[in-house]
Structure 1
Amino acid sequence: MANPKFEIKKSSNGKFYSNLRSKGNGEVIATSEMYNAKQSCKDGIDAVKRDASNAEVIDLS
């Protein structure tokens, strides 16, 4: 897989969610919450793309 990819899916209950797949082996590395509207799911993806590069890592273990 050349680049990481977001996949938008529709669950059996009719709600939308996304999976982020790694660029290496295509494994799912993150799954979103469930959204009632597809546009809300897309907005969530945009938020991750915008904010994740600046996210802190806080180890609570």
Structure 2
Amino acid sequence: MGKFEINKDKAGKFRFNLKAGNHQVILSSQGYATKSACENGIESVRKNSKDDKMFERKKAKDGSPYFSLKATNGQVIGSSEMYSSTSAMSKGIASIKKNAPKASVQDNS
């Protein structure tokens, strides 16, 4: 089962990572000024991860595929790591769709 982990960075911003059952990070958020805004970001991931249209598939300058998950307002909620192939990226998206809706939240902040 997946898990969201909330952490506070060196700049004092709150960030979350969504980890799959194997403890690998599959989605990382932007920095949020408050914990409640970070928690709202988690809820947005839960809601928007069910809709394939909310995943924006991209390529880095070096050609590595990655994706961003967007909210209904078009804002990026989180981004993936760089993948070695498009099929690996597709597996990452599938993992988010599977894990995000029922993932627990661990507050490490």
Report the counterpart of residue 20 of structure 2 in structure 1. Answer: 22
Unmatched segments (≥5 aa) in structure 2: 60-109
Unmatched segments (≥5 aa) in structure 1: none
Q: Which amino acid aligns with 1:10?
A: K
TM (norm. structure 1) is: 0.84
Report the counterpart of residue 12 of structure 1 in structure 2. Answer: 10
Higher relative contact order, structure no. (Cα contacts within 8 Å, ≥ 6 residues apart): 2
Moved over 2 A (4+): 55-61
Alignment of 1:45-56 (within 5 A): 45-56=42-53
**% identity of equivalent residues:** 34
TM (norm. structure 2) is: 0.49
In the comparison of the two structures, how many residue pairs are matched?
A: 58
> Partners in 2 of 1:59 and 1:14 — Cα distance?
30
Higher percent of residues as strand: 2
SS of alignment partner, residue 40 of structure 1? helix
